[in-house]
Amino acid sequence: MWITIAPQAAMKSPLDVKNQDHSRKLDKYWVPIVARTIDLLDCFAAAAKPLTLEDVVRLTRIPHTTAYRLLHTLALRDYLNRSGRQYRLNQMRRRLKFGFANLSKQISLAVEIEQSLRAAAAHAGIDLMVWDNDRAADLAIQNAREMAACKVDLAIEFQLLENVAPVISDIFLRAEIPLISLVNPHHGTVYFGVNNYRAGFAAGLALAEYALRHWKAEIDALLLLESPRAGRTVQSRLIGALQGVQEKLGPLPEKQIHHLDGGGEKDASRAALAAFLRAKSRKRLLVAGINDESAIGAVEAARHARYGGQLAIVGHGGSREIIDLAADPHSPCIGTVSFQPQRYGPDLLHFALPILRGRSAPVGHYVPHEFIGKDALSLRSPHSPCSM
């Protein structure tokens, strides 16, 4: 077994060591067992991998029985983690360093999740290093490599490009850094985020209920503002939205279902809906955006086109921007499925810390979601903060 030991600042000669030992024997305040304990802990701090009892004896020259008793005691007091015959330092006994690669500073949900995580990390005394993936594949890979090079204790990844996910997972796997993926599960990682399909189903139910109340269930089209490059997991929101609509309104003819690629961005979604409105003369439209940005783009397209028909738009995420938009009684946005971004920080740390203690983690943790619509928002004071 190869053990990598950090280089010492200066090597002492045998004479120096002998003189130091002689001086310590004359020091009436010297406590040998404490010194040996510190030597043992220093040994772990310098090792790149877990150590066995035999490794510790060889590296420290502490007698076998004494080394065993020290290891046993330190493990009981949570200074060391034990797995079989191997021991490693408990990272919880020092200031932790987390890395977070966020989706984009242009996405409201991502910004609010980052704010929540920063606040929670500061409160817990954890150093948080943040990178911006800017929704770019090459940049996300570069950020993952930089994070691994920084030797963070735990990596948190928020990026939606399915073809990049296995590359990023492999980077952290080889660096032996635990990885938690947000919103879009990555292969070989634990997942923390919303149940995308069920969130979409909630959006579909809300759209269908609106059509039942206001249009007697008669609609001309259901528009699904998608983002194909985000991959199947995130796209499942719109599969859920379609199923939610059909749960209430019954099966829709294929000609009434339209898939528009808005890329999950405001501008592209605005352009996609604007083109549809120019080409079609439909009157009663239900629109499900894959995220809040696509829903906001749809609202802007309808306003710019001065659309005279009836329109109901729903987003996903629960950002402050779309909450304010849905609260406007004149807006065609009827609400959003909130992922409760303010909960991500504290809930994520509660989920992550046991992983660093060496405990097994569930494959995934679903964050609660809820639909927030105009009816609920109309009850709040126009000057009160959003109570998501």
* Residues 305-346: tens digit of each pLDDT: 888 779 999 999 998 899 999 999 889 999 999 998 888 999
Q: What percent of the chain has pLDDT over 70?
A: 87
pLDDT of residue 174: 94
Cβ burial, residue 362 (10 Å; 0-12/13-18/19+)? exposed
Closest CA to 227 of 144, 317, 354, 138: 317
Distance, C-alpha 11 to centroid of its chain: 45
The secondary element (H helix, E strand) that includes residue 111 is helix 108-124
* Homologous superfamily of 95-193+343-357: Response regulator (3.40.50.2300)
Return d(Cα 161, Cα 143) in angstroms, integer.
14
Pick the CATH number of 196-338+369-377 from 3.30.479.10, 3.40.50.2300, 3.40.605.10, 1.10.420.10: 3.40.50.2300
Does the pLDDT at position 286 exceed 60? yes
Q: pTM to 2 decimals?
A: 0.73
Q: What percent of the chain has pLDDT over 90?
A: 57
Mean of per-residue pLDDT scores for the chain: 86
Angle, CA of 149, 152 and 157, to the nearest 5°: 95
Tally of CA atoms within 13 A in the half-sphere of 139 that contains its CB: 13
What is the number of other CB atoms lying within 10 angstroms of the CB of residue 112?
22
CB contact at 8 A, 329 and 162? no
Reported residue count of the chain is: 388
Topology agreement, domain 14-92 and domain 95-193+343-357: no
Structure-token match 């919880």, residue found: 92
Give the 3-state secondary structure of residue 258.
Answer: strand
Closest CA to 378 of 331, 318, 321, 340: 331
Does the pLDDT at position 162 exceed 90? no
pLDDT of residue 124: 85
Give the 3-state secondary structure of residue 163.
Answer: coil
Over residues 96-100, the mean pLDDT reads: 93
CB contact at 8 A, 202 and 244? yes
CB contact at 8 A, 163 and 189? no
Does the pLDDT at position 223 exceed 60? yes
Return d(Cα 169, Cα 156) in angstroms, integer.
11
Tally of CA atoms within 13 A in the half-sphere of 272 that contains its CB: 26
Pick the CATH number of 14-92 from 1.20.1250.20, 2.60.40.2480, 3.90.1200.10, 1.10.10.10: 1.10.10.10
CB contact at 8 A, 225 and 187? no
CB contact at 8 A, 141 and 159? no
The CA R_g of the chain, rounded to the nearest whole Å, is: 28
Q: Please report, for the chain, the start and end positions of each structural domain, with discontinuous segments joined by +.
A: 14-92, 95-193+343-357, 196-338+369-377
* 236-245, 298-307, 349-358: segment of lowest average pLDDT: 349-358
Structure-token match 């909630």, residue found: 202
